[in-house]
A and B are shown apart, each in its own frame.
Chain A
Amino acid sequence: MPKKIIVLLNKILPTQIAYAHCDLPCGVYDPAQARIEAESVLKIMEKYADLHEDFQKMRAIIIKEQRAELVKHHLWVLWTDYFKPEHLEQFPNLHDLFWRATKAAGQTKKSIDPADGQKLLDLIAEITDVFNKTKAAK
């Protein structure tokens, strides 16, 4: 169709944006990514008490916050990309579990209490359990 006619029709007819874009769903998901970052968070918390130099403490805090942010990122990817509505039917507490886990990741940013780090790891372990069950069901 000539371009002029298309432009004219585009002005006359009601138009909407439609999406046909492609992203890259590599299909590789694993809660281990979140767990490894959360283990780093916990280790930093445990070692923090033994640090004496200010620059070491500062560095530990910065790295801990970066790792905690990565935990959040990996959990969100799992939550929004891997898990599907049918998983929610099978595990009705899924949203609540992810909500608590990402909240716990946020808590580890402002805390140096290893108990907070352990709580985060425990929640990731629960998510891993659900993840493994969905994988086994495939």
Chain B
Amino acid sequence: MTPTLMEGDIVFINRLAYLWHNPRIHDIVAVRDPRDGKIIIKRITQIEGKHYFVQGDNKQYSTDSREFGMIDRSDILGKMLK
């Protein structure tokens, strides 16, 4: 997620952010990696119904929805606080 995030950064995830409204494009979110269940941080770039396309800000080197496909709404854990 460089240059937005650097290795070792501490970030806060608001797990209640999406209680009242759905995630939006440009939100930076913590999601469950559909491949191994690890928590990863990506930016939402596209929304189709309940499915979200997420990408890293470092597009050239990011492993994201271009690799593992769209993620479900239920895999979004929360929104990163800026």
Contact of A22 (CB < 8 Å), options: B2, B11, B13, B38: B2
Question: How many residues on A have C-beta within 8 angstroms of the other chain's C-beta atoms?
Answer: 18
Look across to chain B and name the residue whose beta carbon is closest to the beta carbon of A19: B40
The SS class assigned to the B binding surface is loop
Judging by beta carbons under 8 Å apart, are A18 and B30 in contact? Answer: yes
Residue contact B67 to A19, C-beta cutoff 8 Å: no
A25 near B: Cβ within 8 Å? yes
A111 within 8 A of B: no
A85 to B5, CA, bound (A): 29
Task: List chain B positions with a Cβ less than 8 A from chain A.
Answer: 1-2, 5, 7, 10-13, 30, 33, 38-42, 56, 58, 60-63, 66-69
30 CB < 8 A contacts A-B: A6-B10, A9-B12, A10-B10, A15-B10, A18-B13, A18-B30, A18-B39, A18-B40, A19-B33, A19-B38, A19-B39, A19-B40, A20-B1, A20-B40, A20-B41, A20-B56, A21-B7, A22-B56, A22-B58, A22-B60, A22-B62, A24-B61, A25-B61, A25-B63, A25-B66, A25-B67, A84-B68, A84-B69, A85-B69, A86-B69
